Amino acid sequence: MTGNYHHLALAEVRPGMVLSDVLLDVQGNVLLPQGTVLTEAMLALMPRHGIAVLPIVKEEVTPEAVAATLHHHEARLAQLFRKNDPDSGSDWATATLRRFVTDFRLGVEETPEHE
């Protein structure tokens, strides 16, 4: 764990804050890696995993750091799904998985459908 962190209650954590350590669920499984810039979607899922307190980096996050993190996630997703063409309808299951993982990692919020 880095030395420049503090533990914050989930209610105090805001989107854009950065994890100072790997985040584990109550069973010890890795939920998010160290350095993850938290999104609203990620924070909304924390109670489901029994997370009440998060280790947060004390310093402010620069726009450059956020852009670098997003670029890293995009490059990693491209590597993971390199054999899947998202425009091809032949493998809908992998395309759906790719969309959900991409939305989660890049912090894309779901928009409610209007009736």
pLDDT tens digits along 75-103: 988 898 888 877 777 888 888 888 888 88
Residue numbers of the chain with a pLDDT score lower than 70 = 1-3, 59-61, 108-115
Question: How many CB atoms sit inside 10 A of residue 20's CB?
Answer: 21
pLDDT value, residue 25: 85
